[in-house]
A and B are shown apart, each in its own frame.
Chain A
C-alpha cells in the first residue's frame, strides 16, 4: 500500500520569499515520487519526479525537491517565489515494478502575496 500526506492545505508566502511545500510518503517498496502543479482552470503539469537516481531533483520553473528516505519525505522548494507560482501543488507516489497507480496527496494551495 502507498499513501501521501501533504502538510498544510494552504501556504501563503510573500513574493521573493522561500517556498516550502511538505510531502511525506508511505510505500512498501522503493517509491517513485512526483510533484504536479495545477494552475486555475487547467490540468496537471509535471514539475519534477524522483526515480531513485539523484536524491536532489530539479524541475521546471526553478523548483526542486529532495528525497530523504530516513524521513520518508519529498519536500518541494523554490528559493524565491514569483506571483506566477500561485497554484495548487500535488505530491504523488507510485510504487516500483508493475505498480503503475499514482496515489495523490490532498494538495497544497500556494498563495503569493505582492
Chain B
C-alpha cells in the first residue's frame, strides 16, 4: 500500500484566484493521478502525472485550467486556476502501487475546495 497526504485539507477561495494542492507519497511511484469529485458525484479523472513528462489530461480538462507538476517520484501538485464556484469540489490524488494483477490505486484524503 501507500500513505498519501494532501495539503491543504480544505480551503475557501474567492472566484478568480488560484489554489495549488500538494500531494506527497511515502514511497516512490511512477504514476500519480488527480481526480475531481463534485458534490454528491462520483470521481472523475482529471489527469495522469508521470515524473519527467507532461501530464496527460482527460477529455474536458485542460492544462491552462489545471496545471500539474511532478518534480520527483514522491510529490505532485495540482493548481486550480482562475476559480469559479463550479470548481467547488473535492480534489483527490492517487497512486498506482504494485504491478500487473496486483496493481492497485490508493487515494489521499482529499482537498475540499469551496469557491465563493
Q: Which residues of A contact B (CB under 8 A)?
A: 32, 34, 36, 41-46, 49, 51-53, 90, 94, 100-102, 104-107
Asked if B43 and A42 sit within 8 Å, CB to CB, the answer is: no
Contact of B104 among A43, A49, A104 (CB under 8 A): A49
B13 part of interface (Cβ distance < 8 Å): no
What number of A-B contacts does a CB cutoff of 8 Å give?
46
Contact of B101 among A45, A52, A104 (CB under 8 A): A52
Contact residues in B for A102 (Cβ distance below 8 Å): 43, 45, 105
Asked if A44 and B92 sit within 8 Å, CB to CB, the answer is: yes
A47 to chain B: closest CB distance in Å? 11
B82 to chain A: closest CB distance in Å? 26
A106 to chain B: closest CB distance in Å? 5
Q: Which of B95-109 contact A (CB under 8 A)?
A: 96, 101-109
- For chain B, give the interface size range: 20 to 34
Asked if A43 and B96 sit within 8 Å, CB to CB, the answer is: no
Extra contacts, 4 of them, besides A43-B109, A53-B101 (Cβ < 8 A), are A34-B104, A36-B107, A94-B103, A105-B42
Asked if B102 and A46 sit within 8 Å, CB to CB, the answer is: no
Q: Which residues of B contact A (CB under 8 A)?
A: 1, 4, 31, 41-43, 45, 48, 92, 94, 96, 101-110, 112
- Decide yes or no: A46 and B31 within 8 Å by CB, A90-B43, A101-B45 being known contacts: no
Contact residues in B for A41 (Cβ distance below 8 Å): 112
Asked if A100 and B41 sit within 8 Å, CB to CB, the answer is: no
Contact of B42 among A45, A90, A101 (CB under 8 A): A90
Across the two chains, which residue of chain B brings its CB closest to A109? B40
Asked if A43 and B42 sit within 8 Å, CB to CB, the answer is: no
Asked if A43 and B43 sit within 8 Å, CB to CB, the answer is: no
Asked if A43 and B45 sit within 8 Å, CB to CB, the answer is: no
B47 to chain A: closest CB distance in Å? 11
